[in-house]
Amino acid sequence: MTLSPAFIDRLRSIVGPEQIVSSSASLQHNSRDYYWYSPILKPLLDDKAADLIVRPRSVEELVAVVAAAVAERVPITPQGAATGNYGQGIPMQGGVIINTRQMTRILELTPESARVEAGVVLKNIETAAREIGGELRFFPSTLMTATAGGFLAGGAGGIGSVTWGTLWDPGNVLAVTVVTVEETPRILTVSDPEEMQGVIHSCGLTCIIADLTFALAPAQPWQQYVAAFDSFEDGLRCGESLAYDDTTAKRLVTILEWPIPSFFRQLVRDNACPEGKAISLLHLTIDEAELAARLAPFGGSVTWRSPHTAYLTSGWQLSDFSWNHTTLWALKTDPRITYLQDQFDPERVYEQLRQRRERYPDDVLEHIEFMKFRGRMYPQGLTLVRFRSPERLQELMDYCEEIGIWLANPHTHYLDDDVRWNGQPILDARARWDPHGLLNPGHLRSLETK
Ligand SMILES: Cc1cc2nc3c(=O)[nH]c(=O)nc-3n(C[C@H](O)[C@H](O)[C@H](O)COP(=O)(O)OP(=O)(O)OC[C@H]3O[C@@H](n4cnc5c(N)ncnc54)[C@H](O)[C@@H]3O)c2cc1C
């Protein structure tokens, strides 16, 4: 769309020329997230771009930018570090991207909670919190780049979810300050759990997050280990024994089928990934002797360790190989790979894995993360898929559902196609806070088909 020169001048006077991106190459580059993980989304979203990117540095600038865009009825797409995987941060109808990455103040920090502006990178919260005895309850594997606001609006869980669950679980997000998209934008504090459902994983469709308060956990001396097993099933059984044991402190329990470990060149060089073996990536506090005893009944052995003194300070961090980073390493090895986000029934996981392997012996490589969701532990898959055709992928997803594997479809950019969609609270929040429907249009199928 064409933006009026007067509107662009107004934005420039609010944030200063250096906080405006307007060249077409930069707009194309900076309008993208990691939607290209999906061969279905890639052709749909490749040509989408904003007409302008504006980067407010404070809530005052944010409010003024929103007021200017609403006055002109320009579509607004909020953006953090643009590491989302489903294209839900892609401006489908152009307009402005409001990037909150310059809002980087940590507003209040105690060992129990962190109130931060939307643009604070999660790694910076983690580092500051650990200095005073706290730490994030959980974080995505994009810890080093993702913003707090982007995680709340576009993420789910990650390292730490094996103990603390996800963004949806009560008590993890304490409050959010949102800016409404109205002629005179309001700054509202949301702390009621019901109302919070209109913000969590709302993908920029209901409000712009100015700041938020995460509950923290007590900091732990995390030791990082890689353990190897003869088979994926041995690794999974061992993972269960650690994940379900409430007396063992843990932040990461990842199980990966061979040849996925061969994709991690750095770990291969360190002899952490023996040929043909499944591996587990672990963040635990127990020492190596105790871990060896826990692995022995499953035929596992420690192949790599990094002491707690190196945690987030030096050397490889296993989080860089876990969750959706695993998929990234796989894509670097073979660009035809894609993935599923699939949750197994804890009572039937071995049967479900066997059924799927029998039906699709060459299509899938197993990757499981243990994760709590609404108080229950689940083996959560981030299954790698050898992509053959859209039809074959759909058939595989249909089969997963047929045998009771729950899917959060990463091949749609429509939020309401996703099983994690909060439903009515999102629609209500959008009606209340964005009455002109300017926020991130094109990502709700129910509105598209009306
Ligand atoms: C390699 C890789 C690994 C990943 N691992 C994980 C993982 O372990 N767990 C996980 O949950 N996710 C994961 N993700 C997805 C993503 O990185 C995270 O969800 C991340 O937290 C998103 O943060 P961001 O700042 O990049 O947000 P963005 O991608 O910029 O935005 C995400 C969504 O939030 C909206 N948004 C951004 N900022 C605001 C704001 N201030 N107000 C309102 N809406 C806003 C956007 O419009 C978009 O819809 C991974 C992605 C990649 C590429």
Q: Mapping DSSP to helix (H, G, I), strand (E, B) and coil, where does residue 286 land?
A: coil
The last residue of a domain, from among 258, 287, 310: 310
Question: 238 and 249: one domain?
Answer: yes
Closest ligand 1 atom to the C-alpha of 151?
21
CA atoms within 13 A on the CB side of 7: 22
Q: What is the mean pLDDT of the chain?
A: 96
- 294: CATH: 3.30.70.3450
With cut-offs at 50, 70 and 90, classify the pLDDT of residue 449: low
For 95-135, what is each residue's pLDDT tens digit? 999 999 999 999 999 999 999 999 999 999 999 999 999 99
d(CA 402, CA 406): 9
User: Does ligand 1 come within 6 angstroms of the Cβ of 427?
Assistant: no
Asked if residue 429 belongs to a domain, the reply is no
Task: Using alpha carbons, select from 8, 376, 1, 429 the residue that is nearest to residue 196.
Answer: 429
Distance 128 CA to ligand 1 centre (A): 21
Over the stretch 124-154, which tens digit does the pLDDT of each residue have?
Answer: 999 999 999 999 999 999 999 999 999 999 9
pLDDT above 80 for 419: no
Is the C-alpha dihedral spanning 13, 82, 196, 176 positive or negative?
A: negative
Ligand 1 centre distance from Cα of residue 88 (Å)? 9
When pLDDT is cut at 50, 70 and 90, the band that residue 403 belongs to is very high
Report which residue type is found at 449.
T
Q: What angle do CA 118, 124, 125 make, to 5 degrees?
A: 70
Q: How far is the CA of 299 from the centre of ligand 1 (A)?
A: 38
Residue 132 and residue 196 in one domain = yes
**Euclidean distance between CA atoms 445 and 450, whole angstroms:** 9
Global pTM exceeds 0.85:
yes
Share of the chain above pLDDT 70, in %: 100
Ligand 1 atom nearest to 78, measured from its CA = 47
Tokens of 197: 């459902």
Rounded to an integer, what distance in angstroms lies between the CA atom of residue 404 and that of residue 355? 11
Cβ 78 under 6 angstroms from ligand 1: yes
**Pairing assessment for the beta strands 52-54 and 96-99 based on DSSP bridges:** parallel
Q: Which of 219, 245, 271 is the last residue of a domain?
A: 219
Examine the domain organization and report whether 179 and 279 are in the same domain.
no
| CATH classification at residue 191 | 3.30.465.10
Look at residue 229 and tell me if it is in a domain: yes
Nearest 5°: phi and psi at 65?
A: -65, -45
Ligand 1 pocket, 143 CB below 6 A?
no
Q: Is residue 339 part of a domain?
A: no
Model confidence at 1, pLDDT cuts 50, 70, 90, reads: confident
Do residue 211 and residue 230 come from a single domain?
A: no
Q: What ranges in 344-415 are assigned the alpha helix state H?
A: 349-359, 390-402
Q: What is the pLDDT of residue 278?
A: 98
Q: Domain check: are 250 and 177 in the same one?
A: no
Q: Is the CB of 167 under 6 A from ligand 1?
A: no
Ligand 1 atom closest to the Cα of residue 80 is 30
Ligand 1 neighbour 209 (Cβ under 6 A): yes
Q: Which domain holds residue 229?
A: 222-310
The answer, yes or no, to whether any atom of ligand 1 lies below 6 A from the CB of 164, is no
Ligand 1 contact, 91 CB (< 6 A): no
Tell me the DSSP string of 97-108: EEE-TT---EEE
pLDDT at 450: 58
Tens of pLDDT, residue by residue over 36-46, are: 999 999 999 99
201 and 116 co-located in one domain: yes
Q: Which is more confidently placed, 422 or 206?
A: 206
Q: Are residues 257 and 285 in the same domain?
A: yes
Q: How far is the CA of 36 from the centre of ligand 1 (A)?
A: 14
Do 256 and 213 reside in the same domain of the chain?
Answer: no
Note whether residue 95 is domain-resident.
Answer: no
Sequence-distant (≥ 6) Cβ neighbours of residue 369 within 8 angstroms = 161, 162, 252, 253, 254, 322, 323, 379, 380, 381, 382
In short, whether 198's Cβ falls inside 6 Å of ligand 1 is no
Q: Are residues 246 and 200 in the same domain?
A: no
CB of residue 224 inside a 6 A radius of ligand 1: no
Res. 420: pLDDT tops 80: no
Which of 83, 319, 320, 413 has the most ligand 1 atoms within 8 A of CB, as the residue to mutate?
Answer: 83
- Tell me: do 188 and 289 sit in the same domain: no
CA 11 to chain CA mean position, Å: 30
Overall number of domains in the chain: 2
349 alpha carbon – ligand 1 mean position (Å) = 28
Among 310, 338, 353, the domain-final residue is 310
- Residue 85 Cβ < 6 Å to ligand 1: yes
289-344: per-residue pLDDT in tens?
A: 999 999 999 999 999 999 999 999 999 999 999 999 999 999 999 999 999 999 99
Atom of ligand 1 nearest to the CA of 157: 11
What pLDDT is attached to residue 34?
96
In a domain, 284, yes or no: yes
So what's the pLDDT on residue 226?
98
- Please indicate, yes or no, if residue 171 is contained in any of the structural domains: yes
